[in-house]
Amino acid sequence: QGDSHVWSPLHWASSNEHSQLVEALLEAGANIHAVSISGAGYTHVAASSESTEILRIISKAGLSLTATDSLGLTPLHYACSSGSPGTVEFIL
């Protein structure tokens, strides 16, 4: 279930680099296709949080690193905006 930001627990775990929690939520059957009110998925959140480990985990679970949000932005856009060369390199 989401909060007032329409973020699920998996969004919050992805944004705070809690890799073990992300893995536990995925194993528990969390909806991997949930998006925020802006259309941002977990890959977008992890990319903006500069977390390549979370990106690795959620892309392995089947999420696309080329998914777009409601503005047409991809996780690569989010990674560039956050100034994270390591995350950009991982996505590319």
> Residue ranges of the domains in the chain?
9-91
Question: How many other C-beta atoms can be found within 10 angstroms of the C-beta atom of residue 27?
Answer: 9
Q: What mean pLDDT do residues 75-80 have?
A: 95
What does each C-alpha distance from 70 to 14, 39, 67 come to in angstroms?
19, 5, 10
70: which 2 tokens?
Answer: 């409601």
pTM: 0.83
Mean pLDDT of the chain: 87
What does each C-alpha distance from 41 to 3, 57, 85 come to in angstroms?
15, 14, 20
Q: What percent of the chain has pLDDT over 70?
A: 95
- Round to whole Å and give the CA distance between 19 and 27: 12
The fold of the 9-91 domain, in CATH, is: 1.25.40
18: which 2 tokens?
Answer: 């809690």
Which pLDDT tens digit goes with each residue over 50-73?
Answer: 889 999 999 999 889 999 999 999
pLDDT tier at 12, thresholds 50, 70, 90: confident
